[in-house]
Chain A
Amino acid sequence: EAQVTQNPRYLITVTGKKLTVTCSQNMNHEYMSWYRQDPGLGLRQIYYSMNVEVTDKGDVPEGYKVSRKEKRNFPLILESPSPNQTSLYFCASSPSGPLAEQYFGPGTRLTVT
């Protein structure tokens, strides 16, 4: 089944404790992206990757890191999480870029206390 998977789905952590949210797609897509979704603010892009080893900042990259060492994986790293990073996070992929249909993962709900 073609899909985007994210892990974990739910995470409660404390301020400053490094964490990684994994994202994997099995559709051989070139483009991958991370979004956060907050009430009243909608979906905002954090980082995106046009291809392996190519990443770029979205609208809200502060406090986040990403890497794209393999085509299928695009982990999101929070090196020192803060409470303002409490949010619902989505990973997405598409065959060739944002102009193509994006497939979203199921989401990761992160709470930082």
Chain B
Amino acid sequence: EDQVTQSPEALRLQEGESSSLNCSYTVSGLRGLFWYRQDPGKGPEFLFTLYSAGEEKEKERLKATLTKKESFLHITAPKPEDSATYLCAVQGFGNEKLTFGTGTRLTIIP
């Protein structure tokens, strides 16, 4: 059974204070690891897909990296508008569904 564990559950940062969110996973053959952003009262919004260890993707102040056991979402010089819950999910070989973690709630204080 695929499993995803995200840490920390919540993170408060000052504006401009860089940090990383962690997503640890177990899956029988990784097809893809996904990062989504969710704002309060809204549906998740896609950020990245990573397919293999060593892969990195960037978007504005966000950079996602992947190893064989975990993924990190690095946030550089965050702004208040980066405040959201960040969700990690995996898809393993042999199934057509995603398994999500419980998310990290990020708050950026001006």
Interface residues of A (CB under 8 A from B): 4, 31, 33, 35, 40-45, 48, 50, 56, 58-59, 90, 92, 97-99, 101-107
Q: How distant is A56 from chain B, measured CB to nearest CB, in Å?
A: 7
Give chain B residues whose Cβ lies under 8 Å from the Cβ of A35.
Answer: 100
Measured CB to CB, the residues of B under 8 A from A are: 31-32, 41-46, 49, 87, 89, 91, 96-103
Q: Is the CB of A103 within 8 A of B42?
A: no
Q: B97–A48 contact, CB under 8 A?
A: yes
| In the bound complex, CA of A86 to CA of B45 (Å) | 23
Contact of A106 among B42, B46, B49, B87 (CB under 8 A): B42
The answer to whether B97 touches A99 (Cβ under 8 A) is no
Known contacts A42-B87, A99-B91; A104 and B44 CB within 8 A of each other: yes
Q: Which residues of A contact B49 (CB under 8 A)?
A: 99, 101
Interface of A is mostly: strand
| Cα separation A56 to B41 with both chains bound (whole Å) | 28
A-B interface, 3 closest residue pairs, ranked by CB to CB distance from nearest: A104-B43, A42-B102, A43-B100
With A41-B102, A99-B31, A99-B49 as contacts: A90 and B43 at CB distance below 8 Å: yes
Of B87, B96, B100, which contacts A48 at CB under 8 A? B96
Contact B31 A45, beta carbon cutoff 8 Å: no
Question: Shortest distance in angstroms between A53's beta carbon and chain B's nearest beta carbon?
Answer: 15
- Known A41-B102, A42-B87, A43-B87; judge A101-B46 contact (CB<8 A): yes
Complex contact B43–A97 (CB within 8 A): no
Q: How far is the CB of B69 from chain A (nearest CB, A)?
A: 19
- Rounded to whole angstroms, the CA-CA distance of A35 and B45 in the bound complex is 14
The docked-state distance in angstroms from the alpha carbon of A99 to that of B31 is: 8
